Structure formats: C-alpha cells, structure tokens
C-alpha cells in the first residue's frame, strides 16, 4: 500500500477541483489540457508530505508521478525533494533522487510542479557541479516544462550569490514565444537583480528593446516606478527634456544614450570612480545602463565641453533620502567628477558654482552638503573655492565603493541669498 497516494486521495475536496482546473489552464488547447484535480490546496499537500515522506520509496513515488491527478504528482515530487534534502550524508541516494527526477520530466508538466521541485533538488545538486545539463534543458528541452526546469533551477545559484548561469540561460531563452517561459526568465532575472543590480542593468541594456514585454516587466518589477516606466518605453521615447545650465566653457545638460561610449571611456579609468565612491565601469553596456537609470533625472547633468561637444564629467545633487549624509528636508547633497585629462583645469569648480546658483536662486534649497574622501583633498579644494565650510564631521560610508578604506569629510554651504 502506498501511504502517500492513499492519504492524498482521502484529502480530496470536489468543491475546489473545478476552480483549480481553471487556474491551471486545463481546457482544450491550454497548457494544462486534460489534467485532473482532486481539489487539494498546496498547504494541505505539504502537510501530507510532511507526514508521509519517510514511509515511501521510489516505487511509491513512481506510482504518484504516474497519477492522473495533479496534486498526487505534486505530492510525489515534494516527497522526492524531502528525501533528497535529508540525504546530505548519502551522496548515492541524492544521486538516485536526481536520476529519478530527470527520468520523469514528462510527468512534471505544469509550472507549479516545476517551480516547487526543480531548484531545491536539481539546483541544489548542481551547486558544486558542472551545470551543462541546465543549458541543454533550456536549449533542447522536449517541452516547455523541461526548458522551464533549466531556467528555474538556477534559483539555488542566485540564492548563493551566483548569478552568471541565470543570465546565460536567460539569454538562451530570451526570445521564447511562450509566456510561461517569458515569465520564468523575467522572474529569475528579477531575483538575480536583487543580488546584483548592476549586472541586471548591464544584461537588460542591449536586450530590452527586443525582449518580450512580459519578460521585461517581470525583470524590472522591483525597480522604482519611474524607472520601470522608462525601461518599458520605446527607444525613441527615452531622451530626456531636462534643465540646461551654462558657463563660459561648459554646458550642463541631461545625459543621453549616445553618450555611453564617452562615459565609458572616462568612467572606466580606475583613478576616477574610486575617488568619488563608485566602481570603474566595465563595459559600454554598463555605462549605458547607468545613463538610463541613475543619470536619468532632472538633477544630474553631463559636463559637456563647449569646445569639443564631448561629455567629460558628471555633476548633480541628491535629494533627502538619496544622500550619503543625514540632511534636512530642504537640503541637497552635491556630487561631481571629471575625467583625468581635465583635472586641475577648474572644470569642476566652474560647474559646481553654476549648479549652486541654480540650487539657491531657482530651487531655494536651504543648504547644499557635500563630502570627500580624506585621501582626495583636491575634491575638498573645489568645495572650498565654492564657499563650502568644514562641518567638522568625519563619516565612514561603507556602502560606497572602497568606502571602508578611508573616511569622508563633510562640508556644507548655506543659502544666504
């Protein structure tokens, strides 16, 4: 007698069966066509598995996975996961669980059956092994369910901070026509982005224009609302009509996507970013992603040299809640950098003076704060030339790039207009 199968049958609730059948799309032509339901909710199934998994063997699981009832197949898979998870000191049993799983992928034939079983079993098994299998499933899976297994199994890697396979397999499935694959890819991209937002932005930047909208929408679900709107726009809608400020030598203007190569040329310099608390850019795609996200607002400007028409630096201010310093509701924090070939030419001083005038005369901010690493006194001299006063505060900003290597000195300029 199969205790798991029998107990599941005893939990049947016909009043729930029809609703579950609709939810899992079992009608003609739908992805779950012909599947049958007992009307058992997932928490009940989990409870049954908790009581029974120690009492079943592979023959019992074979019977469960061969069932016409969706919930019984799910129970079999969850029991298999339990056996696998509790066999950490028995590699041969864990290997047998994986082999059994892969031999029965034809019975893992709906998204919940995939998602509740693949990464705690297959993903966990492959955590310290070659992962070619997942690439093969994504590329050559006989069904969308095998392809989804290839994608969703990378969840385990993501949770261990390993996002490379997620991005690589997402690229394989980038233009898949089925929405269940598109949603799975978008979901895993979103999870990878929680671990490494820069990597997600770099992945999306050259692909967002052509990838399915459903996939993109899932991937950027955790982005701020305004940023999600920008990513979902058509490419021709992305340029930003913002504030333009001018000095004798410099035009402060919004960043444009076409500036990505120039930004990368200068922002990839290892002597530039770390002095301002950010990592050197690794690719043009990364620079483009930063233009599209962090620079796409009305208070960040490219420093364009009028003589050449090329952006050679960046300046802007952060609002309360964005800043590195605890500032008041009517205050902002200034930040700036300029490319190394333009150091010691007064570029930052000229740009900062113009932005200060804009902040005080037109926006009526009470104070402008700024800070600089104590091992970068040149930045402090720029602030002093513009009237900033030393507050006496010394902060450690460990959230900044290399911010744990040197403290910052806090400066402030009050509006006396």
Tokens 């007698």 belong to: 1
**Residues 34, 167: Cα–Cα separation, whole Å:** 34
CATH number at residue 346: 3.40.630.30
Q: What is the pTM of this model?
A: 0.60
Which residues of the chain are under the pLDDT cut of 50? Answer: 236-238, 240
Tell me what pLDDT residue 321 has.
80
180 and 286 in a single domain? The answer is no
Among 235, 258, 289, identify where a domain stops: 235
- Beta-carbon neighbour count of residue 105 at 10 Å? 18
Tell me what pLDDT residue 397 has.
79
254 and 228 in a single domain? The answer is no
Tell me what pLDDT residue 237 has.
45
Tell me what pLDDT residue 57 has.
95
Which two tokens mark 133?
A: 């299998």
243 and 323 in a single domain? The answer is yes
Write out pLDDT tens, residues 351-392.
999 999 999 998 899 999 999 999 999 999 999 999 999 999
229 and 258 in a single domain? The answer is no
Among 205, 235, 265, identify where a domain stops: 235
Which two tokens mark 368?
A: 């402008």
Q: How many domains does the chain have?
A: 2
φ/ψ of 401, rounded to 5, equals: -60, 125
320 and 396 in a single domain? The answer is yes
Are 186 and 216 spatial neighbours (Cβ–Cβ below 8 Å)? yes
Tokens 């041969």 belong to: 92
123 and 225 in a single domain? The answer is yes
Tell me what pLDDT residue 236 has.
44
Among 187, 209, 235, identify where a domain stops: 235
**Residues 310, 251: Cα–Cα separation, whole Å:** 10
φ/ψ of 109, rounded to 5, equals: -125, 40
190 and 299 in a single domain? The answer is no
**Residues 372, 295: Cα–Cα separation, whole Å:** 20
Are 280 and 271 spatial neighbours (Cβ–Cβ below 8 Å)? no
CATH number at residue 64: 1.25.10.90
Give, in order, the Cα–Cα distances in Å from 199 to each of 140, 192, 241, 272, 285: 26, 8, 28, 21, 10
250 and 231 in a single domain? The answer is no
**Residues 167, 192: Cα–Cα separation, whole Å:** 8
For 280-332, what is the HEC assignment?
CCCCHHHHHHHHHCCCCCCCEEEEEECCCCCEEEEEEEECCCCCCCCCCCCEE
111 and 256 in a single domain? The answer is no
Helices (H) and strands (E) counted in the chain, each on its own, are 22, 8
Residues 6+ apart with CB under 8 A from 224: none
Tell me what pLDDT residue 157 has.
98
**Residues 221, 206: Cα–Cα separation, whole Å:** 18
214 and 258 in a single domain? The answer is no
Domain containing residue 75: 3-235
51 and 159 in a single domain? The answer is yes
Q: Give the pairing type, strands 250-253 and 300-305.
A: antiparallel
244 and 384 in a single domain? The answer is yes
């Amino acid at each position: 007698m199969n205790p798991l199968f029998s107990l599941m049958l005893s939990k049947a609730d016909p009043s729930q069966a029809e609703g579950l059948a609709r939810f899992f799309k079992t009608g003609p032509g739908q992805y779950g066509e012909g599947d049958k339901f007992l009307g058992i909710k997932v928490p009940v199934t989990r409870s049954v598995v908790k009581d029974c998994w120690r009492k079943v063997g592979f023959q019992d699981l074979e019977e469960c996975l061969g069932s016409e009832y969706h919930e019984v197949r799910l129970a079999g898979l969850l029991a298999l996961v339990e056996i696998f998870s509790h066999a950490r000191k028995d590699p041969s049993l864990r290997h047998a669980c994986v082999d059994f799983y892969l031999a029965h992928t034809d019975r893992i034939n709906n998204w919940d059956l995939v998602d509740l079983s693949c990464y705690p079993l297959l993903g966990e098994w492959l955590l310290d092994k070659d992962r070619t299998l997942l690439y093969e499933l994504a590329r050559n899976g006989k069904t969308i369910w095998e392809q989804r297994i290839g994608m969703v199994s990378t969840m385990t890697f993501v949770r261990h901070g390993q996002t490379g396979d997620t991005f690589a397999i997402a690229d394989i499935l980038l233009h898949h026509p089925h929405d269940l694959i598109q949603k799975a890819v978008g979901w895993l991209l979103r999870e990878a982005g929680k671990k490494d937002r820069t990597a997600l932005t770099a992945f999306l930047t050259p692909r967002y224009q052509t990838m399915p909208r459903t996939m993109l929408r899932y991937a950027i679900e955790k982005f701020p609302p305004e940023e999600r709107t920008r990513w979902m726009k058509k490419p021709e809608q992305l340029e930003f009509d913002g504030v333009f400020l001018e000095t004798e030598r410099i035009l402060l203007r919004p960043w444009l996507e076409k500036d990505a190569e120039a930004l990368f040329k200068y922002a990839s310099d290892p002597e530039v970013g770390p002095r301002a608390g950010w990592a050197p850019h690794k690719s043009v795609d990364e620079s483009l992603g930063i233009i599209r996200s962090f620079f796409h607002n009305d208070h960040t400007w490219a420093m364009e040299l009028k003589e050449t028409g090329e952006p050679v630096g960046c300046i802007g201010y952060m609002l309360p809640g964005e800043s590195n310093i605890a500032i008041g509701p009517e205050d902002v924090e200034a930040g700036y950098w300029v490319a190394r070939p333009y150091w010691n030419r007064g570029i930052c001083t000229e740009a900062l003076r113009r932005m200060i005038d804009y902040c005080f005369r037109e926006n009526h901010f009470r104070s402008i704060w700024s800070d600089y690493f104590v091992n970068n006194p040149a930045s402090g001299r720029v602030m002093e030339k513009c009237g900033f006063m030393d507050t006496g505060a010394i902060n450690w900003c460990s959230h900044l790039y290399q911010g744990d290597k040197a403290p910052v000195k806090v400066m402030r300029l009050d509006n006396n207009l």
